[in-house]
Structure 1
Amino acid sequence: MTGINGVALAILIVLFVAVAVMGFLAARWRRSETGLGSLEEWGLGGRRFGTWVTWFLLGGDLYTAYTFIAVPAAMFTAGAVSGFFAVPYTIVLYPIIFFFLARMWSVAHRHGFVTPADIVQGRYGSRGLSLAIAVTGILATMPYIALQLVGIQAVLEVVGLGGRSALARDIPLFIAFVVLAAYTYSSGLRAPAMIAVVKDLLIYIVIIVAVLYLPGQFGGWHAIFDAAQAKMATPKPTAANPQAVTGVFVPTAKQYWAYASLALGSALALFMYPHSVTAALSAKDRSTGRRNAMILPAYSLLLGLLALLGFVAIKAGTKPIGLDGKVNPQLVIPQLFEDHFPSWFAGVAFAAIAIGALVPAAIMSIAAANLFTRNIYRAFFRPDASDATEAKVSKIVSLLTKLGALGFVLLLDKQNALNFQLLGGIWILQTLPSVVIGLFTRWFHRWALLAGWAVGMVYGTVTAYGGCTACTASTHFGNSLAVVPGLGQAGYIGFTALLLNLVVAAVLTLILRAAKVSNGTDITRPADYFADAGDRGVAQQLDVRGSIH
C-alpha cells in the first residue's frame, strides 16, 4: 500500500459530506410541533416510522460497518466457525423477534416506555433489576460503538489517508467523530433513519457487483473454495496445540456445538442490544415490527455473499497490511476492493462502509443515552425531570458515549475493542430472561432474575477472561468459546452463561415463591400487550408525555 488513492478518497469525501448534510437536515423530517424537546421525539423519532423506514433503520442498525469488515475477515483468517456462523444466526433471529416484538411494541407504547429497562421496571417494579438491565446495556454498547469507528479507520487506512504515526492516522477519525456527534445531537434518531436508506442502497450495490464480478477474475467459485480449503488445512501449530491448522473450512463433529451455540446464542443476543430495541420502538404501529421480521432476511442473503468475499480474498492473494507495516486482517475487504476495482468504484465501496458505520454508531449512542437518562438519571437523581430536561441530558450523554468509544479506539489496542465487543455479547444475553420472558409471564421472581443475571454475568466474564492460552493484556477476553462443563465440547460462553442464568432464576423463584416473598408491582395489564396505534389509552399516554405511569 503506497500513497493516497486520490479518486477513491474524493468520492469517499463527497458521499460522506452528502450524508452528513442529510443528517443535519433530518432534524426537520416528520418533526412534531413541539420539536425535539423530548425523548419521544429525539430518541425515538416520534414513533412515526413506517415499514420501509423501519426496515432500512433496523438493517442499518443490525448489519453494522464492522459486520461488513469483521465477518469476511474472520472467514479469511479462520474459516467457517469463526465467520460463517453469522449467516444462520441472522436467519434464526427473525422468527424469534416475530414472536415477541409486537408485544414489546404494544406495552412500550401503552405506557410510554423508551428503553428495555423501562419495560422491566414496569413489569416487576424493581429499580434494582431495571438498573442492572440499564448498566448492562450501556456497558455492552460502548465497545460496539468503538468498533464502528474502527471500521471507518480501516477504510481510511486502505485509501492511504494518514501516516505511519498514530496521530496522523487518527486525525481523519477525529473529523468523522465530530460530524457523527454533531448531527446525532442535532437530529436524534431521525438522522440515522434518513441516512440508513443511502447506506443500505450503497451496500447492496457494492456487494452484488463484487459477487458477480470477482469470481470470474479468479477461476470461479470452485477455484475460490479450493484455495480457501487449502489455506484452512495448512498447519499452524501452537505451543498448546502442535497439531493445529490455520482454520476450519467445514466444521467437524467436534465443532458442531461451538457452531450451533454461537449461532443460536448470537441470535438471542442481537435483539437484546438497546439500539435494536430503540429502532423497533420507533415504528408507528404494532404490525411494522412483524412485517420487518419477514423482510429483514434479505439482509442475511447479503451477509452470506459478503462472508464469501473473505474466501475470494484468499484466492486473490490479498495482503491486508496497514500503514504501520503490520498485517491487519480487518483491512482485507477494503484492500480487496482497492486491488481489483477501478478507483472510482473502490471509492463507492469505501463510502458504503464508512457511511455504514455512521448509522449504527448514531443509534447506539442514542440508545445508551436513553438508558442513562431514563433508568439512572431520572430513576435515582431527578424523578421530576421534565421532558425537555430528559432530552437535554440524553443529548449530552450521547456525546459522552461517543467520546468514550473514541477513547477505546485511540487509547487501547484495536484487538481490545474487538475483545470487549465479544464480551458485550456475552453480557447483553443475560438480560433476555428479564426483558423477553417478562413480556409473556411474571412466573420468575424479580430477585431470582437479578440473581440469575449476576451469576450469568460473573460466569461469562470470568470464563471469557481466561479463555485464551498464554494470555496477554490484549488477548484477554479474546475468545467467545470455552469448554462447556459436563459436555466436554467447546461452546459459546454467552449461551452457557444464559443457561446457568435460567437455572439459578428458576430454582430461586421456587424458593422465593414458597417463602411468599413479594414479587413487586406490575403496572401492566394483559390488554397492554396487544395495544395498537389509535387504541384508546395509547394516544393519550403519548400525547401527554412519554413517561412511566
Structure 2
Amino acid sequence: MNTEIVIFAVLFLLVSGMGFVAARWRRADDLASLHEWGLGGRSFGSWITWFLVGGDLYTAYTFVAVPALLFSAGATGFFAVPYTVVVYPLVFLVMIRLWSVSHVHGLVTPADFVRARFGSPTLALLVAITGIVATMPYIALQLVGIEAVLKTMGVKGDLPLIIAFAILAAYTYQSGLRAPALIAFVKDILIYVVILVAVIYIPSRLGGWEAIFGKAQAKFDATPAPGDGTLLNANNQLQYVTLALGSALALFLYPHSVTGVLASKSRDVIKRNMSALPAYSLLLGLIALLGYMAIAAGVKPIGTDVNTVVPQLFDTMFPDWFAGVAFAAVGIGALVPAAIMSIAAANLFTRNIYREYIRPDATDAQEASVSKITSLVVKVGAVLFILLIDPQFSIDLQLIGGVIILQTLPSVALGLFGRWFHRAGLIAGWIAGMGSGLLMLYNIANPANKHAHFGGSAFPLEKLGLDTKMTIYAGFLALAVNLVVAVLGTFLARAFKVAEGQDATRPEDYVADRGDPRVHDLEVAGSS
C-alpha cells in the first residue's frame, strides 16, 4: 500500500473518530431535539462558528471544481472570488435579523421563518422543497471531491466511496451538528496548510508566476473558445458579473448556511464572523490559481474527469507523504459540508413537511428522531446520485442549484426587512421565477460534455432575440421575473382583498439578542 493511501486513510479515520466523540463534546442533558441535535444547542461562540461556517461554505467542490474551471475556461472561474467578497456585507445585514427572530420564536429553518412571517404553510412548503432540492446536488458534489482523490490514488471501485459516506452517516446520526463543528477545526487547518504550501512551493518548481500565466494563456490561445482566456472579454463579462452577484445573493439562502448561522449563541458572534470570514476569500483566490498551475505543470485529467486536475497536480508536484496530507484535506473538506447539508435538509423535511402535514403534534424527541433518519436517507440519495449519474452532470446541477435557491430570496431575505409582499404574490413569484429559471436552464447546451440541456447556467441572450453573443446568469433573470410577478401579484391580491395571513413576529423580535426572555415555541395560524 503506497504512502499516499496510508496517510489519507489515517487522517480520514482520525477525523471520523472525532465525529463520534463530538456527541460528548459540549454535551447537553438531552440531544433529542432539533435545537440540540440540529443546531448544537444554539451555543457556538466566535471561534467554533468561524470554523463551522467556513467549513460549511468552502467545500470539496471549492477545492476541486473552481480550479478545474480555471483549468478549462480561464478567467471566468474567478467569479467565485468577488462573490465571496460581496456576500459578507449583505449577510451582515440579513443574518443577524434572522438569528434574532429565530431565537425568539424557536425557528430552526428558513421555511419556519416564512411560515411565521407570512402565515402561509403553502409558501413555507415551497421554500422547504426548494431548499431540499437545491441542497441534494451539493451533497452529491462532496462525493465528487472524494472520488477525484480516490481516482488519483489509484483506488478503484465504488466500495471505498460508500464506506466513507457510511462513516459520515453514522457519526452525523449520533452527534448531529456537533460532529462537523468539531471536525471543521482539523479540516480548515489542513486546507490552509496545503494551499499555502502549494502557492509557494509549486510556482518555485514551475519557473514562477510569469511562467505559469504565460503557459495558461498559450493553452487558451491554442484552443480558442468564446470566453476562454486569462482575461475576460466582451462575450463573458456580463455572465461574470451577474454570476458573481447572483451567487452572492444565493449563498446564505442555502439551508446549510442558515443552519451554521443559527447555531451561533449571539448576534455579536455573527457580526464578528461576517467581519472575519473574508479571510477565506483570500484562500479561495489562491485555490483558484491551482488551475493555472495544473496547466503549467502539464497535468492531464484522468479520462474526461476534469475534477481530477487538482489531485493530479498534488500527486505530480508534492512528495508522496505531503500528497497524502493534501488528499486528506480535500477528502475531509467533503465531510464537514456534507454533514451540515444533510442535517439542514433533514430539518426542513421534519419541521416543514412532517410536522406541518403529517404529525402536527410531534414532540421534540420525535422531531429529532425523524430528522436523524431523514439525514440518513438524504446521504443514501446522494451516494446513489453520484453512482448512477455522470459526475460532470452533477456539477452542472450545482450551477442549477443557485438558480433554484435564489427563488426564495423575496420571501426569506426581503421578508426579514418588511412584509410589503402579499403571500399570494410571493407564491406566484416563486412559480414564475422557478418556471422561467428551469426553462432557461433547459435551453442551455454544453457541447463540451455533449449535454443538449441543463449544460450550465450561462443563458445566451440571443435566445431572447438579441443580436449578441453575450450570456447572462440564468438565476439573475429568473429572480428578476420572480420579483416582477411578486409585485404584480401583491397589487392584485390586495385589490381583490385576499386575506393577508397572520404575522406572528413583531418588530422588536428582529433585534433580540442572547438571553432575551421572550423565547417561545412557534405557534402561528394561516391557511394559504
Same topology, TM > 0.5: yes
1:506 matched to which residue of 2?
487
Deviation (angstroms), 1:473: 7.8
Q: Are the structure 2 counterparts of residues 334 and 235 from structure 1 closer, same or farther at C-alpha, using a change threshold of 3 Å?
A: closer
Contact 1:101/1:290 (8 A) holds in 2: no
In the TM superposition, what are the counterparts of 1:85-234 in structure 2 within 5 Å? 85-162=79-156, 169-234=157-222
The answer on 1:27 being equivalent to 2:4 is: no
Q: Which digits, 9 at most, give the CA deviation of each residue in 1:147-196, with x for residues without a partner?
A: 0011111111101111xxxxxx2010011011000000000000000000
In the TM superposition, what are the counterparts of 1:291-440 in structure 2 within 5 Å? 291-321=272-302, 326-440=303-417
Contact 2:440/2:459 (8 A) holds in 1: yes
What SS is found at the alignment partner of 2:501?
coil
Deviation (angstroms), 1:474: 4.8
Contact 1:366/1:398 (8 A) holds in 2: yes
1:47 matched to which residue of 2?
42
Structure 2 distance, partners of 1:289, 1:102, is 7
Deviation (angstroms), 1:97: 0.1
Structure 1 distance, partners of 2:143, 2:36, is 26
Deviation (angstroms), 1:48: 0.4
Structure 2 distance, partners of 1:547, 1:506, is 28
Gaps of at least 5 residues in structure 1 are 163-168, 237-243
Match of 2:92, as an amino acid? F
Deviation (angstroms), 1:365: 0.2
1:166 matched to which residue of 2?
none
1:239 matched to which residue of 2?
none
Choose 511-520 or 123-132, whichever is displaced more.
511-520
Contact 1:319/1:327 (8 A) holds in 2: no
Contact 2:226/2:235 (8 A) holds in 1: no
Count how many residue pairs are aligned between Structure 1 and Structure 2.
520
Contact 2:246/2:475 (8 A) holds in 1: yes
Structure 2 distance, partners of 1:49, 1:386, is 25
Find 1:515's aligned residue among 496, 504, 511. Answer: 496
Find 1:78's aligned residue among 73, 80, 84. Answer: 73
Contact 1:233/1:245 (8 A) holds in 2: no
Find 2:232's aligned residue among 248, 251, 262. Answer: 251
Structure 1 distance, partners of 2:226, 2:100, is 50
What SS is found at the alignment partner of 2:235?
helix
Q: Are the structure 2 counterparts of residues 171 and 229 from structure 1 closer, same or farther at C-alpha, using a change threshold of 3 Å?
A: same
Structure 1 distance, partners of 2:222, 2:123, is 49
Structure 1 distance, partners of 2:58, 2:327, is 16
Q: Which digits, 9 at most, give the CA deviation of each residue in 1:73-103, with x for residues without a partner?
A: 000011111x110011111110110111110
Structure 1 distance, partners of 2:446, 2:79, is 23
Structure 1 distance, partners of 2:316, 2:449, is 34
Structure 2 distance, partners of 1:353, 1:472, is 25
Match of 1:67, as an amino acid? T
Match of 2:385, as an amino acid? F
What SS is found at the alignment partner of 1:430?
helix
1:450 matched to which residue of 2?
427
Structure 2 distance, partners of 1:547, 1:156, is 45
1:459 matched to which residue of 2?
436
Contact 2:44/2:263 (8 A) holds in 1: yes
Q: Are the structure 2 counterparts of residues 302 and 548 from structure 1 closer, same or farther at C-alpha, using a change threshold of 3 Å?
A: farther
Structure 2 distance, partners of 1:27, 1:341, is 36
Deviation (angstroms), 1:235: 3.1
Structure 1 distance, partners of 2:190, 2:449, is 39
Match of 1:78, as an amino acid? A
Structure 2 distance, partners of 1:470, 1:158, is 26
Structure 1 distance, partners of 2:232, 2:307, is 23
What SS is found at the alignment partner of 2:516?
coil
Contact 2:34/2:367 (8 A) holds in 1: yes
What SS is found at the alignment partner of 1:482?
strand
Structure 2 distance, partners of 1:362, 1:473, is 32
Gaps of at least 5 residues in structure 2 are none
1:530 matched to which residue of 2?
511
Contact 2:433/2:479 (8 A) holds in 1: yes
Match of 1:337, as an amino acid? F
Q: Which digits, 9 at most, give the CA deviation of each residue in 1:110-169, with x for residues without a partner?
A: 00000000000000010110000000000011111000011111111101111xxxxxx2
Match of 1:37, as an amino acid? A
Q: Are the structure 2 counterparts of residues 189 and 328 from structure 1 closer, same or farther at C-alpha, using a change threshold of 3 Å?
A: same
Deviation (angstroms), 1:255: 2.1
Q: Are the structure 2 counterparts of residues 203 and 170 from structure 1 closer, same or farther at C-alpha, using a change threshold of 3 Å?
A: same
RMSD, matched Cα: 1.5
What SS is found at the alignment partner of 1:536?
coil
What SS is found at the alignment partner of 1:253?
coil
1:468 matched to which residue of 2?
445
Contact 2:444/2:452 (8 A) holds in 1: no
Structure 2 distance, partners of 1:31, 1:548, is 28
Deviation (angstroms), 1:486: 7.4
Contact 1:40/1:46 (8 A) holds in 2: yes
Identity of aligned residues (%): 60
Deviation (angstroms), 1:462: 1.3
Contact 2:144/2:307 (8 A) holds in 1: no
What SS is found at the alignment partner of 2:459?
strand
Structure 1 distance, partners of 2:195, 2:448, is 37
Q: Are the structure 2 counterparts of residues 112 and 275 from structure 1 closer, same or farther at C-alpha, using a change threshold of 3 Å?
A: same
Match of 1:201, as an amino acid? I
Deviation (angstroms), 1:392: 0.2
Deviation (angstroms), 1:469: 5.7
Q: Which digits, 9 at most, give the CA deviation of each residue in 1:322-341, with x for residues without a partner?
A: xxxx2321000111010111
